[in-house]
Amino acid sequence: MKLQADIGDESLEVELEREGAKVLADVDGRKYELETSEPEPGIFLFKHEGRIYEAAVTSAVAAGGETHVRIGRHEFNLRLIDPKRLRSSGPGADHADGPAEIKTAMPGKVVRVLISVGDEVEKGDGVIVVEAMKMQNELKAPKSGVVKEVRAQEGATVAAGDILATIE
């Protein structure tokens, strides 16, 4: 699988191939052989050359958005782009014609609801803040539109994949 990884202003070409529990990764010509596991949702362990790295991964938006990654003391936002998918769909095709659901990536607690039904939002606007693994993550609108439904309530516990709001 060939991807483009955007981290800040840097864009990297990434090629991944899975062989059982191993992942062969080529990142801009640098090759890695990793043993991988996901002991719990959103937590990934990578073993490379005898060292183990833990990555906590939190999607900021339901589909096509940035992903927040923490490895040790290093934190960054990452956007993965599949060039094949870009070629097969027009600009803005992610949610252009239908509703966009904002979902949680992992279990957590709703800290703040920043929108109400009927509010107009722009793509990238913060809509809901969820605390997971002692980190607060602001979920953002994946498209511009009108908030049609808000299922989240402040203080509520949510499971991975729960739909918190819908934008049309």
CATH of domain 97-167: 2.40.50.100
For the chain, the average pLDDT equals 83
Model confidence, pTM: 0.47
pLDDT in tens, 97-150: 678 888 887 788 999 999 999 999 998 899 999 888 778 888 888 899 999 999
Mean pLDDT of all residues in 24-37: 91
pLDDT at 26: 93
Mean pLDDT of all residues in 70-86: 78
Residue 95 has pLDDT above 50, yes or no: no
Residue 63 has pLDDT above 60, yes or no: no
Closest residue by Cα to residue 100 from 79, 115, 80: 115
Alpha-carbon span 163 to 166, nearest angstrom: 8
Mean pLDDT of all residues in 53-66: 70
Compute φ and ψ for 125, nearest 5 degrees.
Answer: -65, 140
The domain limits of the chain are 2-83, 97-167
Closest residue by Cα to residue 142 from 117, 163, 121, 157: 121
